Chain A
Amino acid sequence: MNSTRKTAVVVGHGMVGHRFVEALRSRDEAGQWRVIILSEEKLPAYDRVGLSYYVGNWNADDLALPGNMYDGDDLVDLRLGQRGEAIDLAAKTVTSTSGDVIAYDALVMATGSYPFVPPVPGHDLPECFVYRTIDDLDGIRAAAEAAGPGAHGVVVGGGLLGLEAANALRLLGMTPHVIEYNGRLMPAQVDAGGGAILEKLVTDIGLNVHTGVGTAKIVSIEEEGADKVTVHLSDDAEIKASLVVFSAGVRPQDALAKASGLEIGARGGILTDLALQTSDPSVYAIGECAAIEGVCYGLVAPGYTTAEIVADRLLGGAGEFPGADMSTKLKLMGVDVASFGDAHGTTEGALEVVLHDAAKGTYAKLVVSDDAQTLLGGILVGDASQYAALRPLVGRPLPADAAALISPAGAELGADSLPDDAQICSCNNVSKGAICGAIAEGACDIPAVKSCTNAGTSCGGCVPMIKKLLEQSGVALSKSLCEHFTQSRAELYDVVAVTGIRTFSELIAKHGKGSGCDICKPTVASILASTSSDHILEGEQAALQDTNDHFLANLQKNGTYSVVPRMPGGEVTADQLIVIGEVAKEFGLYVKVTGGQRIDLFGARVEQLPLIWKRLVDVGMESGHAYGKSLRTVKSCVGSTWCRYGQQDSVGMAVLLEKRYRGLRSPHKIKLAVSGCARECAEARGKDVGVIATEHGWNLYVGGNGGLTPKHAVLLAGDLDDETLISYIDRYLMFYIRTADRLQRTAPWQEALEGGFDYLKAVVCDDSLGIAGDLEAAMAKHVEGYKDEWAAVLEDENKLSRFVSFVNAPDEADPTISFDDSGERKVPVLLGLPGMPVGVASDTAPAGK
């Protein structure tokens, strides 16, 4: 085989180039082809469509496409930072920028597009950027940070990418302006009516929109200051700004092809037939650089199709480009925009049905055939919830009256109205039939459908549809807490709140069955704790707590506990530090500073806990609740008191928040952080509630967490004053505590909310459910009722008597506990050997004092 192995050279390593290599390598089982890739960028293929996600976390690795280094594949040779410089069609060679001359059997042009920069005077000033690569975004970020918060930034171009660029500027703390030559935003996707609503919605969010004007020139400003250029508009208006981003569309990158003599389309792009073959039969063009029968497609989905076809052709297949679905759905700054099928009604005789609700800020248009029987396309702005149901119907008979389909009170589009071949997930091309098949084979919830079919794993827009298909197939999504309660945690919370039942025994007798278990007991304990300020070891509640809450300390692997006193905002006095040191020394504890700005003391036996806590309480320390599903820590940076960049007093705010929410029990542990400026030294966006100071107040982020699937918190509201900030956090946390599932962190809770993040925002910021007062009152009650759990135990002989290793020998230490102090750090020694009979293990242990 090796002697006949052929070489495919791929010029360009973007999303489509990578897809081509993946497709060829996965299908070419016999190893007929080896692949050499020339990549102009230094980074291997990344998700350019998701480029805007790079803003905020600045982690290029997150965008990397899976498998883009082809590790372990000897037949792929990826050459990063090397462009194709020249092609010799006669000799069938490509010369790279490093001078290598590479012979090919097949050449695949995947050079993509370059951003079009209109030749306005000043377009080449150092303050001007384009929005295409990770490098571009790094440059924009540096300029925005140098300019400081609130500085003005101008985006030339109000298309899809222009709005994304403007949003990136907004996330960088700038005041963004968008200039669009057309009379409306996103002219390719929406019509005048949709554009008007879109303009209103993005203006409400803080974008300054200038439509129907051109950019006349850009002039440098000589004086010092944040403003570096003046942008002159065609209507004589001027905008002073720190930077300008050109996002006026893209052009196919066809220069190399043109120079080597390949035929170019009338409007640019490398001309190909439906087989993606160029004017030279050994050369193919795929993705955005290809002009397929003269037409360039600037979306990734048709690009992927071209990649698959060429991979197939190289292996002897006969695939042809079937045309492209140019549907788009996106959420820009929380604004839904969707456009699908023949959105502009270009089909002969097409009719339009429009529902324009200016008050609600929504616009919906359906384009139907001249007999009003067939759906041709549509535009949705402000609310695109019907997109998933409507888009698969394009080209098919309308299941109901067109007006009813887009009217809020109109026809609910059942999943049953869709044919089996209708595409539900357009990102991963999954049909209704495939999803129903997975359900029939036993996938009984959303995660299972996702993992069997890939549907819903990209943009998530089709998840509501998958849910409907699950419901329709009769799958009852069980919310039962455990075998003892058929209710979910949220339902049990309501039962407790409404009935006033305060004991587990009464609750299980009236609303459950059996005697409970390690799932429902701690859940009910948490609900009881969230709804009152009783001590958690009081009365029957004591029996419900898991071992951490029962001993108010964290169980470690050898049965000892760790002790973590609270340090609000990470502050600690010298006296307190000295006592912590003394306690650690006296009780032989292992000391470690935690990730949450606390000091953790490990290795305390049960009977030592009260002695240790007595000492800590005496110097003013209290329980840090590190053991509970409760508020853990509020991390902070040093803020404006000490830091030269700090914009607000982050320590003060962190202390205030920690004292407010300490002792608050919840479905999962909760962490907060407060950063004093956008440098984010407290890593607030990795927390359930993250607060970041701005020049004008506080930005509030919610729903971040670590754990198995880390999430960044999402901006809930910006530039809040102290009072509003606290009321929003009160509402957010209480709403979470009342409605989340057992052990559900804030991030998945937020994602699972019906109506999504917009709904959460409406509940918390606009009080759309009218429960804000109730949530705040519940939090006020918690704050007022807070008492230190450890201080209360120390004052109560009955509770103290529980803190013993042995009920019959309260002074005896557990003889099975031992530590190895010989190494660098103290480590617990476990009992016996694996598989050793249990009875023997205790026999061999020392008999005690």
Chain B
Amino acid sequence: MPTKIEKDAVTGTDTTGHEWDGVKELNTPLPSWWIYTFWATIVFAIVYCVLYPAWPSLDGHTRGVLGYWSRAELAQELDTQVRARGRYVERIRATPLADIGKDPELLNFAIAGGRSAFQTNCVQCHGAGGAGSKGYPNLADDEWLWGGKLDQLHATIAYGVRNAHEKSRQSAMPRFGADGILTAAQVGAVTDYVLSLSGHGTAAPEGAKLFQDNCAACHQADGKGNQDLGAPNLADGLWLYGGDRNSIYRSVFYARNGSMPAWADRLDEATLKMLAIYVHSLGGGR
């Protein structure tokens, strides 16, 4: 509370009436330009509230008489983008998958578009450059579970693996140990045989026999795998779930049966094509 407002003799200005240990303060009026600016900001705010969306309500917000909405603007900008890309996207839609690579311009667009879709939808499992990780296939190397040709890649991406989609890739490896098909010792023997296929150690004849009886139907007699069934090649140096004895033992005992969503439900045709081309271009494409 101001206690004693006095007039300052020197400047002719009133004091604020406060006093702190003998120090008094002048109540100099604000500069008029400052006052005008202050009022102008208030007027601006009122005008803004009338013109633009400003106040939240329980079910949304005020709309503003201009009808401007930043989300609408964003939608418009995205639409412009889509239309700018439309020329290429249309060509990709119209060109058979195998012929896109013949046109360098279209190929570069498809690789760029595929990369962008990959960064959004695929990197969570397959990694930024398609390097994959344990349990998620490396897409940059040349080993494929379901085939590395363009059309095979396209089918895998579109319909996925072991999911509910009717065209999904389907196969299931039995849980040899867990379901009691083989004893733990037999699983160990098969594991040793599988390791020996890629030159790691030697295996007892029992393992070879068990392999031919139980595994060769899908993985082939020589262990080279079968891409129609998504059965991996066991004779090379690449392992999806780890190549040490323990990992392979677990794979045989419990089976793995990884799955992947069907992207045809979520992405349009051109994007699926671009994704196939991008994955193919990572270097492992056949």
Asked if A pairs with B, the answer is no
Which residues of A are in contact with B by a Cβ distance under 8 Å?
Answer: none
